[in-house]
Amino acid sequence: MSEIRFDSIRNRYVIIAPEREHRPSMPRKDFLTTSKETCPFCEEHEDLTPPEIFAIRDNEPNTKGWKTRVVPNLYKAVQIEAEVLSHREGMFEAFNGFGAHEIIIDTPCHSCTIAELDREAVENWLWTMVVRMKDLRKDKRLVSLNIFKNSGQNAGATQAHPHTQLIALPVMPENQLEFLQRNQKYYHVHGRGIVEDVVLNEKLAEERVIAERDSFIAYCPYASFFAFEVIIAPVKVISGLDRCSEEERSDLALLLKSVFEMLDRQLNRYDYNIAVVSAPLNTNFETESYMEEIDQNFTFYLRIMPRIYTLGGFELSTKTAINSVAPEKCAKLLRGE
């Protein structure tokens, strides 16, 4: 029997329909066959990217010998050089394309998965995000920060080499602003933020938790939008990745690697997205009423979204998923039960 479940974090419904689990899926196409010889993100090809913004290295910039690199996106959606200007034409309003759009090259390894990286490499990847978050926070014009990873054709990737994107904007996307509003209201009623309360209830339920590591927990969310979706969140309130201690980042790195080892065992080859959901970078007219309490009620998290099935017309028109694999079943499989 299917169920219509409510997602407290994203304020929407998901239909869990196990009877659809065995429906035909889209055949996987050969994709992203870029070789190391032509890959712009591989070592010794540093001249194929714009000059680096940041790198973990012990030698000269824009040379080989790095552990992670950050470069401007060659095909950037927004530009940090633009002015923050708006203009109206009747009821139509637009802003200049101001913002930051950067590429984090996760590792020199062209074909490594997260599960195949060692702990130091995963920690370096997380630390690189932290460095960029702290730097971008200094620009008070930037308000929202979106860190995301596309891996594979079905997830929207256009390069095979492991990389992560970062987009910072001077405005808040509607869904993020709406969550700030609901989260503050929830906090004033319950004394806990929404994510904090979801984590508490998942720990109590135990059924969907797949792994824990001192500071962090990994679970298949009750109303999973995607089959085998996993959320990793801190067990206490931490508003952003850059607010974590070194020990907490180490816990996160180990848990993240472990989760991908579980996913790899169950799904073998699969496309996926990762979203790092954090509090706003800075205050503006949209966020000022939420920022005073943000460190008490906002909990950041990583959302891992395997793209096993293609979204159809129902999902796109209603923003309601039909998920054919119940999260309870996913959790059991990932735990190896």
| Higher pLDDT among residues 268 and 289, named by residue | 289
With a CB cutoff of 8 Å and minimum separation 6, the contacts of 130 are 241, 242, 244, 249
Two tokens at 101?
């759009």
**What percentage of the chain carries pLDDT values higher than 70?**
91
On average, the pLDDT of the chain sits at: 89
Residue 5 clears pLDDT 50, i.e. is over it: yes
Two tokens at 178?
């709406």
With a CB cutoff of 8 Å and minimum separation 6, the contacts of 18 are 2, 324, 325, 326, 329
Classified as helix, coil or strand, 14 is strand
Residue 3 clears pLDDT 70, i.e. is over it: no
* Mean pLDDT within 152-170: 90
With a CB cutoff of 8 Å and minimum separation 6, the contacts of 218 are 209, 210, 211, 212, 230, 231, 232, 255, 258, 259
Per-residue model confidence (pLDDT) at position 82 = 76
Residue 284 pLDDT grade (very low, low, confident, very high; cuts 50, 70, 90): very high
**319-334 tens-digit pLDDT:** 888 888 999 999 999 9
Q: Which helix H or strand E contains 184, and what residues bound it? A: helix 174-190
Beta strands, E only, 192-300: 209-213, 216-219, 230-234, 272-277
* Mean pLDDT within 36-65: 94
**60-118 tens-digit pLDDT:** 999 999 999 999 988 878 888 877 777 777 877 776 778 899 999 999 999 899 999 99
Residue 29 pLDDT grade (very low, low, confident, very high; cuts 50, 70, 90): very low
Q: How far apart are CA 207 and CA 224, in angstroms?
A: 14
* Mean pLDDT within 243-268: 96
Which of 62-67's residues contact partners 24+ apart within 8 Å by CB, and which partners?
A: 66/108, 67/107, 67/108, 67/121, 67/124
Per-residue model confidence (pLDDT) at position 30 = 46
Q: How far apart are CA 68 and CA 64, in angstroms?
A: 11
Lowest mean pLDDT among 41-45, 308-312, 328-332: 308-312
Q: How far apart are CA 92 and CA 89, in angstroms?
A: 5
Contact by Cβ (8 Å): 211, 262: yes
Q: Which amino acid is at 227?
A: A
Contact by Cβ (8 Å): 200, 186: no
Residue 12 pLDDT grade (very low, low, confident, very high; cuts 50, 70, 90): low
* Mean pLDDT within 207-220: 96
**164-210 tens-digit pLDDT:** 999 998 888 888 999 999 999 999 999 999 999 999 999 999 999 99
Lowest mean pLDDT among 114-118, 125-129, 157-161: 157-161
* Mean pLDDT within 311-318: 80
Whole-model pTM? 0.91
Classified as helix, coil or strand, 293 is coil
**What percentage of the chain carries pLDDT values higher than 90?**
69
34 by Cβ neighbours in 10 Å (0-12 / 13-18 / 19+) ranks as middle
Q: How far apart are CA 228 and CA 333, in angstroms?
A: 9
**How many Cβ atoms from other residues are within 10 Å of residue 204's Cβ?**
9
Per-residue model confidence (pLDDT) at position 121 = 97
In eight-state DSSP terms, residue 26 is P
Residue 219 pLDDT grade (very low, low, confident, very high; cuts 50, 70, 90): very high
- Output phi, psi for 298, to 5 deg: -105, 125
Q: Which helix H or strand E contains 168, and what residues bound it? A: strand 163-169
Lowest mean pLDDT among 75-89, 120-134, 154-168, 296-310: 75-89
Lowest mean pLDDT among 20-24, 145-149, 297-301: 20-24
Residue 120 clears pLDDT 70, i.e. is over it: yes
Per-residue model confidence (pLDDT) at position 19 = 55
Classified as helix, coil or strand, 290 is helix
Residue 143 clears pLDDT 70, i.e. is over it: yes
For the chain, give the longest Cα–Cα distance: 60
Residue 26 pLDDT grade (very low, low, confident, very high; cuts 50, 70, 90): very low
Residue 281 clears pLDDT 50, i.e. is over it: yes
Two tokens at 33?
């066959």
Domains of the chain (ranges plus CATH)?
31-334 (3.30.428.10)
DSSP letter for each residue of 34-60: --TTT-TTSTT-GGGSPPPSEEEESS-
In eight-state DSSP terms, residue 297 is H
Per-residue model confidence (pLDDT) at position 99 = 87
